[in-house]
Amino acid sequence: MRMRFLAPFVLSAVFLAACGGGQNTEKKEEAASEAPADNSMVKAGAAEAAASKGAALIEQKDCKTCHKVDMKLVGPGYKEVAAKYEATDANIDMLVDKIISGGSGHWGEVAMLPHPDLPKDDAKEMVKYILSLK
């Protein structure tokens, strides 16, 4: 009789311990993946600073769930996107709108989820980074 009540208790304790332990790790990872120092006042390396800001934003969001740099996952790889689109203002604006509103058709039937809470300036930095990967 005692064993019947002990097993659910032990399983619950293990489950709670496993769930609770990830919070500290996530906070450490979040703090480590914050945007790098602002190097915009330095002329040499200003492009790299902008690219690293876009990369940092991608790391903070859910982009890596569907996209990788070198290969197709659910959606196209970033280098594949960079090869398809030139870094023109029109293409950057179109890709920013695509990230924010989502949709399908450019890369097949699988729809990209919308990101309506993503600020347009952040999406623009992300697109600039992606298009720099040629």
pLDDT tens-digit series, residues 59-98: 999 999 999 999 998 999 999 999 999 999 999 999 999 9
Q: CA-to-CA distance for 70 and 48, rounded, in angstroms?
A: 19
Say whether pLDDT at 22 is over 80. Answer: no
Instruction: Describe the crossing of helices 120-131 and 89-101 by its angle, rounded to 10 degrees.
Output: 120
Across the chain, mean pLDDT equals 77
pLDDT of residue 109: 84
pLDDT of residue 128: 94
- At 77, is the secondary structure helix, strand, or coil? coil
pLDDT of residue 116: 94
Looking at CATH, the fold of the domain delimited by 47-134 is given as Cytochrome Bc1 Complex; Chain D, domain 2 (1.10.760)
Percent of the chain with pLDDT over 70: 62
Banded pLDDT at 37 (limits 50, 70, 90): low
Q: CA-to-CA distance for 128 and 51, rounded, in angstroms?
A: 7
Say whether pLDDT at 18 is over 70. Answer: no
Q: Domain ranges for the chain, please list them.
A: 47-134
What are the phi and psi torsion angles at 72 (to 5°)? -75, 135
Q: What are the pLDDT digits (tens) for 104-120?
A: 887 888 889 999 999 99
